[in-house]
A and B are shown apart, each in its own frame.
Chain A
Amino acid sequence: MHQHRAWQGRRSITIPLLTVLVAAFLLAAGGCRKQKEGPPIRKTFGQQELLIGLIPEQNIFRQRERYMVLRKYLSDRLGITVNFTSLSRYGNIIDRFAAEKMDGAFFGSFTYGLARRQLGVEPIARPVNLDGTSTYHGYLFVRKDSGIRTSRDMKGKRFAFVEYATTAGYLFPLSYFRSDGITDPQRFLGQSFFTGSHDAAILAVLNREADIGSAKNTIYDQLAGENPRIEQELLILATSGVVPQNCLAVRKDLDPELKAELKRVLLDMEKDPEGAETLRRFGARGFVVTTDEDYTYLYTLATQVGIDLRTYRYKNQ
């Protein structure tokens, strides 16, 4: 009681004092927070802009929206302007990468293989999908009612490839035939054509425009989710090994400091609240380190089917 009174007696001084202390603490905390939120330490890199190419995905507009989210975060954290530009799949990606002086690109597995071998790009990191995957594989499929179950059954049948520069849509089926001793699929098959996209290859088989097809598992699963006929009418005959999906690789002569910083920012994103929010909007769990070793399966496939990635020049049909 006595103590309470004493406290009451000093309240007139205590309250303003407390207020000042709390205000000071809040200011200090706010200051700290601000420092943490802003770009860590502004480093002066050899360049003020980072131009990163994007290989168009199924929906180029949605893809652009996603990467705009990432662009802001990277620009803030790196302290330099990050820009994205879309690379068309048509024509020679490698030539355009060099011609447009890009600093890096989110490559597909096959295009990475080419860029690695021809330009020496260095992989940094790749996004982990919300389902935890960061790799993909190829499917080789037929209609259930086609009766085709082995490579032998495919003789004289129609094959829907995706295009020359795809792992799942071209390298994997070629390797499938070769492992069964079929070295010249063009002659073995009755007819083959390129659909130009993974979903088109799947739909071609589903709609009996082709008897066999191959495509990425990601697109296949997505379509299967939207169209129950795929599950009901198609049969997967073979599955390929895994390759990294959509990896960011940079030109070999990029400022090593900037490269290291870029890698650090991407890998630490999930630990930072703002980074986590960016990831949520980007549609990924985080980024994982990616090295050239992760592409071993791709190189094996290329070797198997006799493609030399260093000199491979293709023209789509």
Chain B
Amino acid sequence: MKRRILMGFGLLLLIFLVGSVVAVLYISRTTASMDRLVLLHQVEILRADLIIHIQQVQSQLSRSKVRSGGDVDVLIAHVQEMDKVMDACIGCHHSPELTQGLHSMHDLSDDYKGIISRLVTATANQRHIAQLEQRAQSLGQELIGMAQGMSFTASLRLQQKTQETMASIGKIKGILIATLLTAFLLAAVIGFVSVRGLDRRFRRLLDATRRIAQGDLQHRVEETGRTDDEFDELASAFNTMTQNLHRSQRQLLQSAKLAAIGELATNIAYEVNNPLTGVLGYTGLLLKADDVPAEKKEHLRIIERETLRAREILKHLLDFSRRKPPHLVRTDIAGIIEDTIALVRGQAKVARVEIKTACPAGMPVVAVDIDEMRQVFVNLINNAFFAMPSGGTLTVRCAAEQDEAGRSVVAVSLADTGHGIPEDHLDKIFDPFFTTRPDGEGTGLGLSVSFMIVQNHGGRIEVESAVGRGSTFRVILPAQGGDPGAA
């Protein structure tokens, strides 16, 4: 998204840049031709000036007074003015043809000046003087004609140049308008697309937030899987957050449930224990009595056995509810795993379960109550054996990991190849008294006790299962810095 917005703005900038550069180029060209126009106008003025000066010289010549001497100075002044203007004309930059024209005009003016000089300096021979005068007049006329001709050519060029310049100005106008329009349209499109895209994404997030607020913690924002989309990253982070929230909530719920059940169980255990003591006492008395027939005594034995079983269950219940604080020791988890597996190895043989271990030494140290932790693993291994009635493989793996918050943890996973846990049981397996075993084979407290133990260690138990393929339990414990043994 960010990239698309940046690209859009880049494109906009590019259009402005190209438009501006082209406009600036045209403007500089037009300015140059405007300068040229101004110059041409100045030249036009010069030319008009030149014609006026030549005409002044001509009129001066036609006065008879010139030769009588009084007006020679005036004549010279006029010719000097004429020369100055002509030099200014030649001094300007012109096209080669114009320069040639100016040079031939200059030559003509030299001839004109020569004849004027001779006319002024001639003192005798009226016929000769008249000829000179006539020649001077005709040269002057020729000069005027030439200047006018050039003036005509120049005015044509001026007109042409003006039209060119106007066309160029029109082009600049067009380019500027096109640039502005294109840029405006593009900006509108970019703005629309960006806003729509952002809106859609925000709405999705907002919707998800609302649903989560309403308690639907299993709702997930759809991810497109594109790595370059910041919104996808956001959605992914959002989903992780929701997932964690969901898990925390579940664990919280589990803890609350366990606490409530524990309290209830304690009360019941106390209440039931007393009558059971009575039952056991009297049953014992009856068993010792001689007047009770042997077949009745058999019944009494059954009563005693079942009552003892009930007391055993009550003891478990009390154990579960009255948890003593764990005695934490810094240790290597691999040692505990090894000890536990040694304990159950015989049982595994009977159950035809192969145990594979991958717990390398040198894992981060954990602070645990070794007995309790061993109990946890025994429970989990027993459950695995139960899940594989016709044998299978149990793989125990230890790994150093990082949790979502970036803390370092040690994860012990126990993966069986058993029948798996149906999805509708997954939420209940940590509940006390939940068991899928036949009556009398389990109390349904193993997993809930394990859950409590691990939770008391600041860790958690996760489970993944697929029916028919097996289950994986992961015991995750916070890692401690330093060496094992230091309490």
CB pair A57 B121 closer than 8 Å = yes
Residues of B within 8 A of A161 (CB): 124
For B56-69 the 0/1 string (1 means CB < 8 A from A) is 00000000001111
A27-35, A87-95, A238-246, A256-264 - interface stretch: A87-95
Residues of B107-149 at the interface with A, using a CB-CB cut-off of 8 Å, are: 113-114, 116-118, 120-126, 128-129
For B127, give the chain A residue with the smallest CB separation: A193
Interface of B (DSSP majority class): helix
B415 at the interface (CB under 8 A from A): no
Q: With A164-B124, A195-B125 known to touch, is A90 a contact of B67 (CB < 8 Å)?
A: yes
**B117: contacting residue among A60, A193, A196, CB under 8 A:** A60
**B128: contacting residue among A85, A86, A196, CB under 8 A:** A196
CA distance A195 to B120 in the complex (A): 13
A142 at the interface (CB under 8 A from B): no
B76-84, B233-241, B333-341 - interface stretch: B76-84
CB within 8 Å of A: which residues of B?
Answer: 66-70, 72-73, 76, 79-80, 83, 113-114, 116-118, 120-126, 128-129
CA distance A59 to B132 in the complex (A): 14
Question: What are 16 residue pairs bridging A and B, where the CB atoms are less than 8 Å apart in the complex?
Answer: A59-B114, A60-B120, A60-B121, A64-B76, A64-B80, A88-B66, A88-B69, A91-B69, A163-B124, A195-B128, A196-B121, A196-B125, A200-B128, A316-B124, A317-B124, A317-B126
CA distance A195 to B123 in the complex (A): 8
CB pair A86 B69 closer than 8 Å = yes
CA distance A156 to B66 in the complex (A): 37
**How far does the Cβ of B365 sit from chain A's closest Cβ, in whole Å?**
78
**A87: contacting residue among B69, B116, B126, CB under 8 A:** B69
CB pair A165 B72 closer than 8 Å = no
Residues of B within 8 A of A200 (CB): 118, 122, 125, 128
Chain A interface size band reads 20 to 34
CB pair B113 A88 closer than 8 Å = no
For A148-170 the 0/1 string (1 means CB < 8 A from B) is 00000000000001111100000
CA distance A197 to B67 in the complex (A): 14
Residues of A within 8 A of B128 (CB): 195-196, 200
A312 at the interface (CB under 8 A from B): no
CB pair B123 A193 closer than 8 Å = no
CB pair A165 B73 closer than 8 Å = no
Q: Which of B67, B79, B114, B121 has the most CB of A within 10 A?
A: B121
A96 at the interface (CB under 8 A from B): yes
For A165, give the chain B residue with the smallest CB separation: B123
For A161, give the chain B residue with the smallest CB separation: B124
CA distance A60 to B73 in the complex (A): 10
Residues of A within 8 A of B68 (CB): 88, 90-91
Q: With A58-B117, A60-B116, A197-B118 known to touch, is A90 a contact of B76 (CB < 8 Å)?
A: no
Residues of B within 8 A of A193 (CB): 125
Q: With A88-B67, A88-B72, A91-B68 known to touch, is A61 a contact of B125 (CB < 8 Å)?
A: no
A295 at the interface (CB under 8 A from B): no
A79 at the interface (CB under 8 A from B): no
Residues of B within 8 A of A196 (CB): 121-125, 128-129
A56 at the interface (CB under 8 A from B): yes
